[in-house]
């Protein structure tokens, strides 16, 4: 079966870039990305590609090339579904905030709504592709809803999880380590798998396209994120040991990463992992394990989250204890708010939780991030619901100038590893700060010796300090 028209429901961080790359690589396929959010679609359609809603290096050029040719962004959801041979579901699946499984299970409300909408409007056979990360066996829910339409339409469900990382989305999509496609073993199921394989094989070498059954594919996505997050929590656990033993976590990472069985990636100690996926997917895994009565398995994976929460808290505590056990009324400058560099995404960013902890101690924060807006910073803090919104506004300022952010502060905390932080005029920053001037480098990116020579007292994650 040759796919001519694709519809993708959800124009977010995953749906937008993924569809843009498919459209670029397959100019003969018409790709329409739909979303309920009108403002978001309008932003994707902005004539100036610098204003598209997702910041990813290289994405603007791809959108500029394909948009209007075979890539479209629209709010006409029913129409786009109806016309498509293949429908990707790429809507968000946040952790449930209510009822059974609250705080752990994935909220599948949007997925179910999509399935019902597809069932309602379809008049021809379709392949439905799960792009959103979902609990294992969600495909059977989709199938159940879609097979009860009574209109004799054949729906094949595929699982095709996305492994792109934000900030490198375009690169990851153009040359992925692997593409994973799970499908039903029946002949119709396998034909659907082949249709999707054909699309990807336009630019991905076939040996990198893995096909599995549906359940392996769904579980592999959760497992991949759980393993990655586990590596970060593991090295962060070691970073705390380093700080009391005069070992240096960078040296330890290099030493263990040189073992080809371990490998060098994802061994960078940090103030804690963030992002929309790691915590959500591990909680999901934990919830599934508990549902099946696998308590030891659940506890094992839950520890990755517990360690991550500990890392964020202990960073905040380090700031407080270093500043003579009180930060009340003291200005602390935050460099970085995004959950990692090269993205404007702040979901679950460690910075939010460190800020919350310091605000509980009445600190005054000044935030600078090259890509995050003031509005987003306040939204993130308000979302926690720890204090009145007016209190967040009065205690936190957001500036567009890092020197202004650091001026008159007692301490600078580095929360995101933006490259530009290293190129600042640190002498100038030092001159304008209160003394003693502290730096808390939660990403180990600054040149410690240079800063110490200027006069800073420097704490770096994973290194023993004499502050």
Catalytic residues: 162, 221, 277
Q: How far is CA 358 from CA 87, 314, 323, 352, 387, in A?
A: 45, 11, 12, 10, 12
- 211 in helix, strand or coil? strand
Minimum separation from the CB atom of position 86 to ligand UDX (A):
17
Q: Give the whole-angstrom CA distance, residue 444 versus residue 253.
A: 13
Q: Tell the residue number behind the tokens 């007292």, with chain if given.
A: 457
Q: How far is CA 422 from CA 49, 167, 448, in A?
A: 29, 19, 10
Task: Identify which range of 59-67, 266-274, 289-297, 393-401 contacts ligand UDX by CB under 6 A.
Answer: 266-274
- Bridge partner list, 86: 6, 127
Residue 274 found at the interface with ligand UDX (CB under 6 A): yes
CA distance 19 to 62: 10
Per CB under 6 A, does 275 bind ligand UDX?
yes
Cα separation of 323 and 332, whole Å?
10
Instruction: List beta partners, residue 31.
Output: 6, 71
Contact 358, 319 (CB under 8 A): yes
Using CB under 6 A as the binding criterion, the count of chain residues that bind ligand UDX stands at 41
Most distant CA pair in the chain, distance? 75
**Residue 169 DSSP SS3:** helix
Distance of CA 413 to the CA centre of its chain: 22
Nearest-angstrom CA–CA distance, 162 and 85: 20
d(CA 67, CA 60): 10
Could you say which residues in the range 102-131 bind ligand UDX, by CB under 6 A? Answer: 110, 113-114, 131
Residues in 134-163 at the binding interface with ligand UDX, rule: CB under 6 A: 162-163
Residue among 255, 276, 273 at smallest CA distance from 264: 255
- With contacts defined by CB under 6 A, name the span among 10-18, 185-193, 322-330, 369-377 that binds ligand UDX: 10-18
Residue 210 interacts with ligand UDX (CB under 6 A): yes or no: no
Q: Is 276 in the site for ligand UDX (CB under 6 A)?
A: yes
- Residue 228 CB, nearest approach to ligand UDX (Å): 5
Q: Is residue 133 near ligand UDX by the rule CB under 6 A?
A: yes
Residue span binding ligand UDX (CB under 6 A) among the ranges 22-30, 145-153, 274-282, 447-455: 274-282
**Nearest to 359, CA basis, from 322, 330, 402:** 330
* CB of 393 vs ligand UDX, minimal distance in Å: 25
Which span sits near ligand UDX by CB under 6 A: 95-103, 194-202, 275-283, 386-394?
A: 275-283
CB of 311 to ligand UDX, least distance (A): 9
Q: Does 220 bind ligand UDX (CB under 6 A)?
A: no
Task: Please provide the DSSP assignment of 9-48 as one string.
Answer: E--STTHHHHHHHHHHH-TTSEEEEE-S-HHHHHHHT-SS
Q: Which C-beta is closer to ligand UDX: that of 318 or that of 340?
A: 340
Q: Does 314 help bind ligand UDX (rule: CB under 6 A)? A: no
Scanning 80-88, 89-97, 284-292, 363-371 for contacts with ligand UDX by CB under 6 A, the matching segment is 89-97
Per CB under 6 A, 270 contacts ligand UDX: yes
340 part of the interface to ligand UDX, by CB under 6 A: yes
Within residues 162-201, the interface with ligand UDX by CB under 6 A covers 162-166
Q: Nearest to ligand UDX by Cβ — which residue?
A: 12
Q: Which of residues 11-50 bind ligand UDX (CB under 6 A)?
A: 11-15, 35-37, 40
Minimum CB separation from ligand UDX for residue 282, in Å?
Answer: 11
Positions touching ligand UDX (CB under 6 A) are: 9-15, 35-37, 40, 90-93, 110, 113-114, 131-133, 162-166, 225, 228, 232, 266-268, 270, 273-278, 339-340
């Amino acid at each position: 079966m040759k796919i001519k028209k694709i519809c993708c429901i959800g124009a977010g961080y995953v749906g937008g870039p993924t569809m843009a790359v498919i459209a670029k690589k397959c100019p003969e396929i018409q790709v329409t990305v739909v979303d309920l959010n009108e403002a978001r679609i309008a932003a994707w359609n902005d004539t100036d590609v610098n204003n598209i809603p997702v910041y990813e290096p290289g994405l603007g050029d791809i959108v500029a090339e394909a948009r209007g040719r075979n890539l479209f962004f629209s709010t006409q959801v029913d129409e786009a579904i109806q016309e498509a041979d293949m429908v990707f579901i790429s809507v968000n699946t946040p952790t449930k905030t209510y009822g059974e499984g609250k705080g752990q299970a994935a909220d599948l409300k949007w997925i179910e709504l999509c399935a019902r909408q597809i069932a309602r409007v379809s008049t021809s056979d379709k392949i439905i592709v799960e792009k959103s990360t979902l609990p294992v066996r969600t495909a059977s829910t989709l199938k159940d809803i879609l097979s009860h339409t009574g209109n004799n339409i054949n729906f094949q469900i595929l699982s095709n999880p996305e492994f792109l990382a934000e900030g490198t989305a375009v690169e990851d999509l153009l040359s992925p380590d692997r593409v994973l496609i799970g499908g039903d073993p029946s002949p119709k199921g396998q034909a659907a798998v082949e249709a999707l394989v054909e699309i990807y094989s336009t630019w991905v070498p076939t040996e990198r396209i893995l096909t599995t059954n549906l359940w392996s594919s769904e579980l592999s996505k959760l497992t991949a994120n759980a393993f990655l997050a586990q590596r970060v929590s593991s090295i962060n656990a070691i970073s705390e040991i380093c700080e009391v033993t005069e070992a240096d976590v960078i040296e330890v990472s290099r030493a263990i990463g040189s073992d080809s069985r371990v490998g060098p990636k994802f061994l960078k100690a940090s103030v804690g992992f963030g992002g929309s996926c790691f915590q959500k997917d591990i909680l999901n895994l934990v919830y599934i394990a508990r549902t099946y009565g696998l308590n030891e398995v659940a506890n094992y994976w839950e520890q990755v989250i517990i360690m991550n929460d500990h890392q964020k808290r202990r960073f905040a505590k380090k700031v407080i204890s270093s500043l003579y056990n009180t930060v009340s009324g003291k200005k602390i400058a935050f460099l970085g708010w995004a959950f990692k560099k090269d993205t404007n995404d702040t979901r679950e960013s460690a910075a939010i939780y460190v800020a919350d902890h310091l605000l509980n101690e009445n600190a005054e924060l000044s935030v600078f991030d090259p890509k995050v807006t003031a509005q987003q910073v306040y939204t993130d803090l308000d979302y926690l619901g720890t204090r009145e919104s007016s209190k967040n506004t009065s205690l936190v300022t957001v500036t567009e100038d890092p020197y202004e952010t650091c001026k008159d502060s007692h301490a600078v905390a580095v929360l995101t590893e933006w490259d530009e932080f290293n190129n600042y005029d640190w002498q100038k920053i030092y001159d304008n700060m209160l003394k003693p001037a502290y730096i808390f480098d939660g990403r180990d990116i600054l040149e410690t010796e240079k800063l110490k020579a200027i006069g800073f007292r420097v704490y770096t994650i994973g290194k023993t300090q004499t502050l």
